[in-house]
A and B are shown apart, each in its own frame.
Chain A
Amino acid sequence: DGGITQSPKYLFRKEGQNVTLSCEQNLNHDAMYWYRQDPGQGLRLIYYSQIVNDFQKGDIAEGYSVSREKKESFPLTVTSAQKNPTAFYLCASRVTGGNQPQHFGDGTRLSIL
C-alpha cells in the first residue's frame, strides 16, 4: 500500500538530548513537509522540501533540523535548542506541479521526560 509512514508513534526526550523523527513515503512525491501541532492549535510549518537535497525553513524552524538525501525520506531532528518540544509532529507529502493537496502520515507524539 502506498502511503506515508512516521515513526516512532510516541517518543520521549530527555533534557539536552537530540531526537530524530522518521518520515518515509512511497508515493513518489517530490515535496515533503513537517508540521507541529500543539493542543487546541493549528498546524505550524517547520521545514519543507520541494526536491532532493534542498529544503526551506518554515515559520518555526528554530531548534529543528532536516535532511533530504533521498526522495522517499525526510527525517526531522529536534535539537536540544528547542526548549518546548512537546507536541504532535506531522509529516506530509504532495505531488508538485499544480496546487495539489498534501497527504499526512499518522504523526509522532513527542514528550519531555
Chain B
Amino acid sequence: RKEVEQDPGPFNVPEGATVAFNCTYSNSASQSFFWYRQDCRKEPKLLMSVYSSGNEDGRFTAQLNRASQYISLLIRDSKLSDSATYLCVVYNQAGTALIFGKGTTLSVSS
C-alpha cells in the first residue's frame, strides 16, 4: 500500500456544487494530517489541518477516520477559484517530514 493515495480525478463540477475528496494513508502511527492546495505551476499552500474531531473553515470541511485510515475534504458551494489540485499530506513514520499524495484535480466551471 502506498503511503498516501488519492483519486487523481479530474473532478469536473459546476459552480455551486458540493464535492468530496478522499485520501487513504498507510502509517497508522501518523498524528498529523493536512490538505494543501496547489495551483498550476505554483507552490503548494496550506489549506487546512485535519483534526481528529473534524474541522470546518468556511466552505471547507475536513474529516479524519483513524480506524479506516482515511481523510476527507468536502467543499461546499464550489467557486471557479476553487479549481486547483488538492494534496493530501501526512507525516512520515519518523514524524520528521511530510509525505504528499499525488493530488486530486478539481475543475469548477460556470
Contact = CB atoms under 8 A, between A and B. Distances in A.
Q: Give the contact-size bracket for chain A.
A: 20 to 34
Q: Give the contact-size bracket for chain B.
A: 20 to 34
Interface stretch (A12-20, A37-45, A69-77, A78-86): A37-45
B45 A104 contact: yes
A100 B95 CA distance: 10
Main secondary structure of the interface of A (DSSP, over half): strand
Given A90-B43, A101-B46, A42 B97 contact: no
A41 B101 CA distance: 9
Contacts of B97: 33, 45, 48, 58
Given A90-B44, A99-B31, A99-B91, A48 B100 contact: no
Interface of A: 31, 33, 35, 40-43, 45, 48, 50, 56, 58, 88, 90, 92, 99-107
